[in-house]
Amino acid sequence: MVKAYKQEYTYKHPWDRVTSASWKKFADAENKRTLSHILEVDTLNHKLDTSTGKLYTTRAITVHAPGPWFIRKIVRQDVCHCVESTVVDAQARSMQLTTNNISLEKFIEVEEKIRYDPHPENPNGWTLCRQETSIRIKPLSALASMAEKVEQRCAEKFVQNSAKGREVMERICKYLEAESKGISI
């Protein structure tokens, strides 16, 4: 069984501001309080392809993911390590992030894809964020009957954390907007 969901969100900010906010969302102390489930973010690799102008980055993200008590008993850890791969095409004004868990993969597979593009109704002023997440509990005799419920709980947690991420992105975008106008916040 796979639990998947899609969300769309419109940032009332231009693409360059939203993508700048995306890079900064894990760095600020205030954001760390809001995104307290993110324990650590490290850049592993970044490369600019000079022939295409695309930026490729890979980051390691450590997430506090305690899950239900019975899952903790089985997996014996409440930290999940993930890899985020990002491709930024500034010329096409597109940013795509794909995140997969690399720990706990014996028990659960999670893939999150986020894409930022200029909004078709206002390409110079707004940014459309499309997010797709799939969660699959791997069949275990101890979890087989509970897999759907666990996937649902995980999906609900992802939706809650996505809302926190959008809150942080909005705050950073407003800060960047004020900064570009020479206003101090």
Per-residue pLDDT of the chain (185 residues; tens, 9 = 90+): 677 889 999 999 999 999 999 999 888 778 888 888 889 999 999 999 999 999 999 999 998 876 665 566 666 777 889 999 999 999 999 999 999 999 878 778 899 999 999 999 999 999 999 999 998 877 654 555 666 677 777 778 878 888 888 888 898 999 899 888 887 65
Rounded to whole angstroms, how far apart are CA atoms 70 and 62? 21
Contacts of 23 by beta carbon, 8 Å cutoff, 6+ apart: none
Angle at 20 between CA 16 and CA 21, to 5 degrees: 120
CA 130 to chain centre: 11
Neighbours of 37 (CB within 10 A): 15
Burial of 100 (0-12, 13-18, 19+ CB in 10 A): middle
Burial of 185 (0-12, 13-18, 19+ CB in 10 A): exposed
Residue 141 has a pLDDT of 43
Contacts of 5 by beta carbon, 8 Å cutoff, 6+ apart: 132, 133, 155, 158, 159
Residue 48 has a pLDDT of 96
Angle at 157 between CA 146 and CA 66, to 5 degrees: 70
Could you give all domains of the chain from N- to C-terminal order, each with its CATH number? 2-179 (3.30.530.20)
Rounded to whole angstroms, how far apart are CA atoms 34 and 170? 13
Residue 146 has a pLDDT of 65
Is residue 9 within 8 Å of residue 129, measured between CB atoms?
yes
Residue 77 has a pLDDT of 74
